[in-house]
Amino acid sequence: MSLIQQLINGLAQGSVYALIAVGYTMVYGIIRLINFAHADIYMMGAFIGYFAVTVFHVPFLPALLLAMIGCAILGMTIEKIAYKPLRKSPRIVLLITAMAMSLILEHGMATVVVGPNPRPFPELFKINIIHLGPVQINNVQIINLSVAIILVLILQYIVYKTKTGKAMRATSYDMEAAQLMGININNIVSITFAIGSSLAGAAGVLVGMMYPRIDPYMGMMPGLKAFIAAVLGGIGVLPGAMFGGILIGLCETFTKAYLSTKLSDAIVFSLLIIILIFKPAGLLGKPTREKV
Amino acid sequence: MLKVKGLNVFYGAIHALHDISIEVNEGEIVTLIGANGAGKTSTLRAISGLVAPKSGEITYNGTSLSGVPAYNLVNMGIAHVPEGRRIFANLTVMENLELGAFNRKDKDGIKRDFDMVFDKFPRLKERTWQQAGTLSGGEQQMLATARALMSRPKMILMDEPSMGLAPLLVREIFTIIQEINKTGTTVLLVEQNAHMALSIAHNAYVLETGKIVLSGSADDLLHDEAVRNAYLGEC
């Protein structure tokens, strides 16, 4: 197993974590909520993709788009019915509500909609292994990486180049001052949930293609790791989430390859603890003062 | 132009504002002065819709502002420069100003207003691409004021523009407030620096622990013995 091979595997894995982590960090940036239901939106994305392909027989791109749109709507709906009425409540109330939303999605899917058993994600592309010297890379990995990169570029464009993005950054910095500029913050919060959720939905489909077994609890572990990625990069900092996602993906792949498969998760979590001891605000986060 | 009648605001059990009534006529500078915690900022925040009053009436050109969300006020012509400036430190100076004109569609008008604020605040023009958080306190106050002007307000609410600034800068800011007023913008100014505020205002209200204890023309208050003793540091 060559080093470059592991690098490629790690990047493919990391890009998925990055896509999910972005949603955690964006929502946190705007309403200071760790949205625990986010991991389950990722799971829902995989299932929407699954049904799009198995029931409606659409190819990859429409399936991906359907998953993204479906998750965007789901994310906005959850925000409107569960989080918005609590915006002025203590943060712990919001956090517990997010956990409840997560459980509702997981168990709703497992008991009512699809049942608890894993389902095989349909093969959208015939897996083709390409040999580049000693390194082998398959077409699904290439597609996943390219889709992730394109989505991240689009996200960067929206956040840093558009008027909506400017309003998002302003709202995230100071919600009250943003209102005084005439920014309708309810819309901005909705848009933030929509974007974050659609990226998680895309990740769901991409993971379905890489590891073709999906079930209602598939969001737990990747969700947790993406959350760690967001914290590691500095929660609320967009480039931090992407960087953290890639880092976690690489770490996980390298520990699995060179140290221990069993301990790889433990090592990833220990890494978080160690980094947070030295940089409590995350790698790219700035230490914040508590507002009074 | 702006009428506040019998305004009561509570923070939990704390009765922060007691029956506040103020009136601001078009073209005036009206100031609310008083010590820390007197309720000056709460009054402005209630007008802006940032806190919900328990009772009372706020009307602007005859329309009630109750239930109007804070983000709609700027469309009605009211801009609020909040306490502590509250600029977006993570955005550039230019982006801050653009956000001031967030809901405007008239591209030419916005362009003219950019020229107008850069003319008024040449220091901001030199720093358009700088992150707003790197500006000095005085520059940040200028940015906050310029940002409010970018919405082309008919009325501007200013909350302690002199806070934390050197005396020379305070003078500069107050001169600018007077200029803004001369171009037809009505100003409601909240200040702890009573002397400066009274010297530029037309009318004034004195707040003490959430109540209006004195009101009248700024000139009269400037010469009022009780005000001189309590707020102008003379005994």
pLDDT tens-digit series, residues B171-195: 999 999 999 999 999 999 999 989 8
Helix then strand then coil, in percent of chain B rounded to 5, is: 40, 30, 30
Query: B143 near B135, Cβ under 8 Å?
Result: yes
- The residue among B114, B83, B95 whose CA lies nearest residue A168 is B95
Average pLDDT estimate for A10-24: 94
CA atoms of A238 and A285, how far apart (whole Å): 10
What is the percentage of chain B residues whose pLDDT exceeds 70? Answer: 99
The pLDDT of residue B51: 93
The pLDDT of residue A4: 87
The 8-class DSSP code of residue B92 comes to B
Average pLDDT estimate for B121-143: 93
Judging contacts by C-beta atoms under 8 Å, the chain A residues touching residue B99 are 166-167, 170, 178, 181, 183
For the ranges A117-121, A152-156, A224-228, B225-229, which has the lowest average pLDDT?
B225-229
Sort A266 into a burial class: Cβ within 10 Å, 0-12 / 13-18 / 19+.
exposed
- The residue among A112, A101, A113 whose CA lies nearest residue A46 is A113
Radius of gyration of chain B (CA): 17
- Alpha-carbon gap: A82 to the closest alpha carbon of chain B (Å): 21
The DSSP code sequence of B51-77 is S--SEEEEEETTEE-TT--HHHHGGGT
The pLDDT of residue A287: 67
The pLDDT of residue A291: 44
Say yes or no for a CB contact (<8 Å) between A182 and B151.
Answer: yes
Residue B80 three-state SS: strand
Say yes or no for a CB contact (<8 Å) between B102 and A181.
Answer: yes
The 8-class DSSP code of residue B131 comes to B
ipTM metric? 0.92
Interface residues on B facing A, Cβ-Cβ cutoff 8 A = 48, 50, 69-75, 79-80, 82, 86-91, 95, 98-100, 102-103, 147, 151
The pLDDT of residue A248: 94
The pLDDT of residue A285: 81
Q: What is the pLDDT of residues B69-92, one digit of tens each?
A: 999 999 999 999 999 999 999 999
Query: A81 near A239, Cβ under 8 Å?
Result: no
Average pLDDT estimate for A99-128: 91
Does the domain made of B2-231 have the CATH classification 3.30.750.24? no
Search chain A and give the residue with CA nearest B148. A181
A161 — contact with chain B (CB < 8 Å)?
no
The pLDDT of residue A124: 85
The pLDDT of residue A125: 85
* Phi, psi (rounded to 5 degrees) for A120: -80, 125
Q: Give the Cβ contact number of residue A245 at 10 Å.
A: 32
Show me where the domains of chain B are located: 2-231
What is the percentage of chain A residues whose pLDDT exceeds 70? Answer: 98
**Does the pLDDT value for residue B157 go beyond 60?**
yes
Average pLDDT estimate for B185-210: 93
**Does the pLDDT value for residue A292 go beyond 50?**
no
Average pLDDT estimate for A191-207: 97
* Least CB–CB distance from A182: residue in B75, B95, B98: B75
H helix intervals, B135-217: 137-149, 167-182, 194-200
Residue that has been written with the tokens 């949930």 in this structure: A193
Q: What is the pLDDT of residues A220-257, one digit of tens each?
A: 999 999 999 999 999 888 999 999 999 999 999 999 98
Q: How confident is the model at residue B6 (pLDDT cuts 50, 70, 90)?
A: very high
Show me where the domains of chain A are located: 22-220
The pLDDT of residue A1: 58
Q: What is the pLDDT of residues A136-180, one digit of tens each?
A: 888 888 999 999 999 999 999 999 999 999 999 999 999 999 999
**Does the pLDDT value for residue A290 go beyond 60?**
no
Q: Sort residue B123 into left (φ over 0), alpha (ψ -120 to 50) or beta.
A: alpha
- The residue among A281, A169, A287 whose CA lies nearest residue A233 is A281
**Does the pLDDT value for residue B99 go beyond 70?**
yes
